[in-house]
Structure 1
Amino acid sequence: MSFLPGQKLLADQLNTAVDAKLDYGATTAYGRAWVLLADGAAALSRLGLPTAGINTASGLLQLGSDGKIASTYLPTTSESYLGPWNASTNSPTLSSSTGTAGNYYLVSVAGTTTLNGISSWAVGDKVSFVGGVWTKIPNVAGSVSSVAGNTGAVTATQILDSIVSTRGSILYRGASGWSYLAPGTNGQALISGGSGANPLWYTLPTSYAWGTITGTPTTLAGYGISVASTSQATTGTDDAAPMTAAKVAAAIGAIFPPRLSTASGTAPSYSVRAWVVFNGTGTVSILASANVSSITDNGTGNYTVNFTTAFPDANYAVLGSVRFNTGNSYLSSVGINNGTTPTTSAVNIAVVTVAGGSTNVGTNYDSSIISAVFVR
C-alpha cells in the first residue's frame, strides 16, 4: 500500500498500512499500536531487537526516571586479585560460569584449559569473572614491553642478573644507583664504609701485635683458657692446664714439706740453705758444697765461708765437724769464731781444741776435712 504526499488517512487506513508492514498478528482490546502487550515479542523480533522482557537477562534495559541505567544492572567495579593461574594444569581449578564477580587471576603458565568457550591462554593474560562468566583480557602482565632487556613475566633473578651475574660479587646501592663490587680474593674481608661510602675488600694482615687490639683480656680466663686447679697443681698429672703464681705456691707448699720431712708428726721441716766440705790444711780447697762460692784462709783453724746467694738475714744456725788429724789425741769443735758477727753473705768459723792434751785445749788448728752446714 502506498500513499500520496499530503494525502489524509483515516484511522482504519493507517492501521491497515501498519498491519501490512509490521504484521503484528492478532489485535487486542487496546487497539493496534507499535508494541502491544500480547504480541510485542513478535514485533521486537521483526525489528531485530532482543525479545526477552524489559530489565531481564538477555532483554532490553529501561532507563530510570533520571534517564540513567540503574546501578543494579552495571558490572561491578571492585576487583580482587587471587594470584597466578596455570592454564596448562588448571591450577587453581576454575570452572566455566562459576566464580565471584570481580575476582581475577593472571596466567603464569600458558595453556588450553577451556573456560566459558575460551581455550587459548598466554602468560600475562587476565582471567576475570564478569557477568557470570570468565573473560580474558590479553597479556596484562606483558603491557610493559621489557624490564632490563627481559620481556614477558620478568623475575627478580632476571633483573638482578642484568646488573651482575658473576659469582661472589656484592650488590650494593651506590651514590647514583645500583652497582656491584667484583669478587675479592680468597681470605679478604668485606669492609663497610658506612652510609656515605661504597663497600670494599680488605686484605687481612697475617699477624697482629697485641698493642693494636683494644679490649685485650687481663686474665687467662678472658681468653677462654682454664688454669690448673689446686688439685691438678699438687698431683702434677695434667700437662695441659697452665699454672698461675698462686697455684705454684700452693703446689710447693703441698709437695715439698712432706718430701723433706724425715720425722713423723705435723711439725714442719726446713731445708739447708748452704753447706760445704773443705780441706783446711795447706792451700784450702773445697771438696763439695752448695751455695758456697769460696773459702778464705784467715790463719790456723780460722776460715771465712762466702755464700753464693745471700741469706735473708744473719740469723742462721752453723753446724760443723772436723776429721781428727793422724796422731791427734784431742777433740775439736767447729763454730762461729769468737768476736766475729755473721753477715747474710759470709760467716767466720774456727776449728778449736776442746779436750785432750792440756797444752792444746782452746787453741785453733787446721784439719784435713772440715764440714759446715747452715740452716735458716
Structure 2
Amino acid sequence: MKNFINNIPKAELHLHIEGTFEPELMFEIAKRNQIEIPFSSIEEIKAAYEFDCLQDFLDIYYQGANVLIKEKDFYDLTYSYLEKCAVQNVRHTEIMFDPQTHTDRGISFETVILGISNAMKDAKENLNVSSLLIMSYLRHLSEAAAFKTLEASLPFKHLITAVGLDSSEKGNPPSKFKNVFKASIQEGYIPLAHAGEEGNADYVWEAIDILGIKRIDHGNNSLQDPKLVEAIVSRDLALTVCPLSNTALQVVDDLKNHPLKEMMELGLKVTVNSDDPAYFGGQINKNFSAIQNALTLSKEEIYQLCKNSFEYSLLDKDSKEKHLTELTSFYNTNR
C-alpha cells in the first residue's frame, strides 16, 4: 500500500506555502539575511513544533515567516516545496499564500508574489509540476485590511486564480468578509475559504451561502449538521481535508477517530492534503499513509480521494481530463 500511495498521481489543494518552511531552510535564509531567530539549532525549532491549538501554531508560523525578506527567499521556499511534490507524484498543486503576513512587515506585495510565481514557473518547466495561486485573507485582521490586500493584488491579477480565508477561525466568521469577497469575485477571483476546522457548522453555512465559496477548506465540523451535509453534496462542493494537521492542532484526538471515511460514506467529495507540512509532521504522502493506516482505507478509496483532487481542482477541463486519464491508467494497472 505504501508504494501504491507513493506512486499514484495526485493533486494537492490545501497547502500554505509559509507552512512548508522546513527548519533547515529557515536557518539558511535567516543566516543569509542576518536575521536572528529565537532558536539555537534545527533540533530546537523542531521541538517547538508542538501545539495545543491553532493559535499556538500560528504564533510560531508568523515568527518563522519573519526571515522571509527578499524575492529569492520566497523563490527558495516555494521551489523547495515543489521539489517535494515532484518526488511524491503530485502532478498539480494549488498554493495558498498570505500577503498580509509579509506586507505588514514592510515587504512589498511584488517581492512576495514574484518570488513565489517565478518558482512555480520554473517547477512547471523543470519538474513537470503545475501549480496556481490562492491569495488568502487573514481573518483575524479587519475586512478593511483585506480590501487593501485586494487592491495591492490587482497589478498581479494574472498570477492569482483564487482568494481564500485563513488564520484564527473562532470569533472571525466568514460573514465578516462578505464585502471583500464580493469585490474579489467581481475582479475574477474564485472564492474559497477555511470553514469548520475550529468553527462550528454555522461557519460553513456562512462560507457557502454568504461568501459563495466553490470549495471548503477543512470542513470537519460540517458533520454537526445533517442538513449542511445534504447541502454540500447537492451543491457538489469538495472538502480539502488535512489529517495530520487535524491531530497536530487537536481538532481530532486520534486519526482512528478522523471523520474522513464517514464523510466519504455520506457522499462528500473529500481530498487529502498536508496544510502546513513543515509544522504538522508530514508531506501529502505521509498524510495519505497515516489516514490509510488509521482507517484501513482500500486502494479503491485512495484512488477516489486522488480522483477528487483532480476533479475539484481549479484546472481547466482539458488538464483535468489529462490527469484523470493518467490516474485511471495507474489504478487499473496497480489495483
TM range (shorter): under 0.3
TM-score if structure 2 supplies the norm length? 0.16
Structure exhibiting the larger radius of gyration computed from Cα positions? 1
Which one has the bigger strand percentage?
A: 1
Determine which structure has greater relative contact order: mean sequence separation of CA pairs < 8 Å that are 6+ residues apart, divided by chain length: 2
- Structure (1/2) with the larger helix percentage: 2
Query: What TM-score do the two structures reach when normalised by structure 1?
Result: 0.14
